[in-house]
Amino acid sequence: MEGLTIEVNIDGSAYRNPGHEGGLAVYAKYSDGRPDRLIFKEGYDGTTNNRMELRAAIRAMEHARTLAKKEPARGHARRLQEQDGMGRR
Instruction: List, for residues 43-76, the tens digit of each pLDDT value.
Output: 999 999 999 999 998 888 888 778 776 544 455 5
Assigned CATH for 6-82:
3.30.420.10
Of the listed ranges 13-22, 49-58, 73-82, the one predicted with least confidence: 73-82
Query: How much of the chain, in percent, has pLDDT values that exceed 90?
Result: 28
pTM, two decimals, is 0.70
Residue 17 Cα distances to 1, 21, 83, angstroms: 40, 8, 21
- Give every CB contact of residue 44 below 8 A, 6+ residues apart in sequence: 21, 22, 23, 51, 52
More confident residue, 1 or 23: 23
